[in-house]
């Protein structure tokens, strides 16, 4: 899954720019051993317009 992870400050989702606001990790115990899972929270970036 790490190969599919995108670690960028901004990403494009459905044509809208989103900015990362939080990234955290949590360790879980599984039958195969410990697994670290990263969670990211993003927010739609404000649209910038030029002053007329």
User: Which pLDDT score, from 0 to 100, does residue 35 have?
Assistant: 93
- Global confidence as pTM: 0.56
Cα dihedral 27, 30, 34, 36, rounded to 10, equals -40
User: Which pLDDT score, from 0 to 100, does residue 7 have?
Assistant: 79
pLDDT tens for the chain, 52 residues: list them. Answer: 677 777 788 989 899 999 988 889 999 999 999 999 888 888 898 776 666 5
Distance of alpha carbon 36 from alpha carbon 23, whole angstroms: 13
């Amino acid at each position: 899954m790490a190969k599919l992870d995108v670690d960028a400050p901004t990403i494009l989702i459905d044509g809208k720019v989103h900015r990362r606001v939080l990234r955290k990790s949590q360790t879980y115990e599984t039958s195969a051993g410990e697994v670290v899972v990263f969670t990211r929270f993003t927010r739609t970036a404000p649209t910038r317009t030029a002053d007329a």
